[in-house]
Structure 1
Amino acid sequence: MGTVREFLRRTGLRWSLVCVLFWMALCAPAFSQTGDVTLKQLDYNGTERSYYEHVPSSYSSASSSVPLVIFLHGSVNGRTATVEGAAKLAGWTTRSDEKGFIAVYPVGGIVVANGTSSPGYKWNTYVFNGESPDDVGYLLALINQLKSTYRIDPNRIYMTGHSSGGAMVNTFIGNGHASLIAASAPVSGPWITTFRKSESLMEPGGPIPVWIWRGEEEDQITGTIPRDVQDEDQKQFWIQYNQTDQSQRTVSGSYVTDVFTGGNAEVRFTEVTGAGHLNDDDYSSEIWDEFFSRLTLSDRN
């Protein structure tokens, strides 16, 4: 300590200034290494909730605000599938490094015990009354925390998810939060009707661009309604809600995409030929390049 103080005396630096600089360094946001995710916590209603984030190195030199992509994992058992594994495998971390947005991977609020110290997690989907665990409220609090921590562009916040994570995307938006999300992309996500609930519970609060993805060979035996019927119901709900009246089909390799426009917000529906239960990491490039990157909240104002 004496050596440090002698150095400070000779260089003219004040000890108090050094302490301030040291504290600022500790509090500064950490930037992720390429491909890495960092575990974070958020206290929500007295419960510690977790999420993973990836902040690209380009953020430190960016002078303007950056987009935020929120990816919601599917149900994981904690053994062969984990939230961290889903976060690392999801293509959004790679896209984050390439495109310069922040990628965040929240953890579902339902804990699935498996007899180990690493439980599984899933989402409390299609709940509209704040029932515990309140995953909708948690996601809202997380968005607010991220906006206060980083230079997030509020006009460019996007949400996507795989399997039950796709259902949670619809749940969050259906709770009146379409005004916060510039565009959404549920991938292989079950629809509300398979939970024996009415579509009338879905009240997004305004139009929102939606890109729905499904595999042609998706397992039909999921929930109470055949999967192709669920997916068609989901497509028709958003077409009617966004009041689109024009359609065009494009085929690119195994992707068969119907684009519905002419209304308040675009709806896309892609079926991947020969594919089963899709994984989001296979399609993050298309979702970002063709959809998220060109859509902002201000487009709807």
Structure 2
Amino acid sequence: MRTATFEFTRAASLDEALAAMATGAQALAGGQSLVQTMKLRQAAPAHLVDINGVDDLRGLASDGDGLRIGALTRIAELASSPDLARHCPWLQDAARRTADVQVRNRGTIGGNLCFADPRSNLASTLISLRAELTVRSRGGTRRLGVEELFAGFRRNTLAAGELVTAVHVPGWAPAARGAYRELSRQPNGVPVVNVAVTVNTDGVVGIGVGGLGMRPLRALQVEEALRTVDRTDPDAVRTAAGRLADDLGAVEPLTDLHGSAEYRLDVATALLRRLVVETARTEES
């Protein structure tokens, strides 16, 4: 099916992109999700602004004690980055499991997040890392947590004219530990559920879970329960992981032909238990 007719602008700078978006244009980055929805007539933007020529939106760089990832950075760059492999291999693992090589070569981290699929490999991992986004418009700049970008199934919280320009990962330190796991119907397919666990240099645990609800969630109840338990003790971890059901109350449960809400919760809880014990043992070794 062909797309509906639309106006097209190619921006050479961030200011040009934001000016076009202020008039109602929608940003086009990798186009791996947007173009498909346009072909299916699930989306019909009247005006697209191509931001691929905006070099300020590319690349990975140290940002104080953390990492800045430009929103236009390709997922393939994350999957092959030596710096990411050294400092945050679990984020790289999530990137490598995202779709196939052709999609990773075009898809961008900003576009992946803004498409707002609750099963996003990258979203749950970044939530566990307590990453934040920089959002720009002609009216100014704001920051928000990755989990705050999601409004519902494939719906984000960006206002008209706003563009995600960067992802900021705090605590960019080799001493941090983490892991990512997913249940998928096929290699590099869309996960049924996925879980990411990050333990920062102070021993504080961050947990992101995708596929349980209409948006990915940060498992605050489980994080709090893990503060006071021995994370190498499977029984203690099992009790703490059981709080994931309480966290699910904050989002609308997701049920489809690939799994009921109850099945997804059981799988996510099992994955979570394994990752918490795994990261605790890694700290000790």
Q: TM-score, normalised by structure 1?
A: 0.30
Asked which structure has the greater CA Rg, the reply is: 1
